[in-house]
């Protein structure tokens, strides 16, 4: 849409913010639902802590390849890829019965989220004038706490549904993202 390309504040900034929000929901929901997930998977506190280490390892090991991926395919397709990888990791987590698959799932989620940062940063660099880029970055980064706030409520939802169902709902929300991002 020409009007969107001329004024990225209308919808592109919302898309970048949304990409961060859904990406953040994956890891923060796991943390928020720790009181339910940890005993269900039979994990001790140290093992549960390793899940976040696996997530961080995914981000660290994925960051450079993610940047190269964004440079090759562009912002929109990179965010589509991020959503798919995040969703695959979350789907794996719903199948976990113990530590090993849960670690792999969080590693994959970290890989998916590692694409979000370079993709959204490139979007800001491409779509916003130099004198407004810091404002755009500040705005798109609010997706991280927005996703965190939404994810924090997932523990409350476990009173009504299983943590695995809640993760599937996050997957469904994440899979809406490619429909939006593929238009970029």
DSSP string, the chain: -HHHHH-TTTTHHHHHHHHHHHHHHHHHHHHHTHHHHHHHTT--HHHHHHHHHHHHHHHHHHHHHHHHHHHHH-HHHHHHHHHHHHHHHHHHHHH-SSHHHHHHHHHHHHHHHHHHHHHHHHHHHHHS-GGGHHHHHHHHHTHHHHHHHHHHTHHHHTTTS-HHHHHHHHHHHHHHHHHHHTT-
- The pTM score is 0.91
Residue-wise pLDDT tens for the chain (184 aa)? 444 456 777 778 989 999 999 999 999 999 999 999 999 999 999 999 999 999 999 999 999 999 999 999 999 999 999 999 999 999 999 999 999 999 999 999 999 999 999 999 999 999 999 999 999 999 999 999 999 999 999 999 999 999 999 999 999 999 988 777 777 6
148-175: per-residue pLDDT in tens? 999 999 999 999 999 999 999 999 999 9
Q: Give the pLDDT confidence score for residue 45 in this predicted structure.
A: 96
């Amino acid at each position: 849409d020409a009007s969107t390309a001329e004024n990225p504040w209308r919808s592109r900034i919302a898309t970048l913010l949304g990409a961060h929000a859904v990406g953040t929901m994956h890891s923060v929901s796991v943390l928020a639902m720790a009181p339910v997930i940890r005993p269900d998977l039979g994990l001790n506190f140290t093992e549960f802590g390793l899940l976040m280490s696996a997530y961080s390892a995914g981000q660290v090991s994925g960051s450079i390849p993610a940047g190269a991926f964004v440079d090759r395919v562009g912002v929109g397709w990179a965010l589509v890829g991020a959503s798919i990888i995040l969703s695959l990791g979350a789907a794996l987590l719903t199948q976990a019965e113990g530590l090993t698959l849960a670690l792999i799932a969080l590693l994959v989620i970290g890989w998916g989220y590692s694409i979000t940062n370079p993709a959204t940063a490139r979007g800001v660099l491409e779509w916003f004038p130099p004198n407004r880029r810091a404002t755009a970055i500040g705005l798109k980064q609010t997706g991280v706490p927005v996703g965190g706030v939404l994810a924090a409520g997932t523990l409350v939802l476990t009173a009504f549904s299983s943590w695995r169902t809640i993760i599937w709902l996050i997957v469904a929300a994440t899979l809406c993202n490619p429909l939006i991002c593929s238009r970029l």
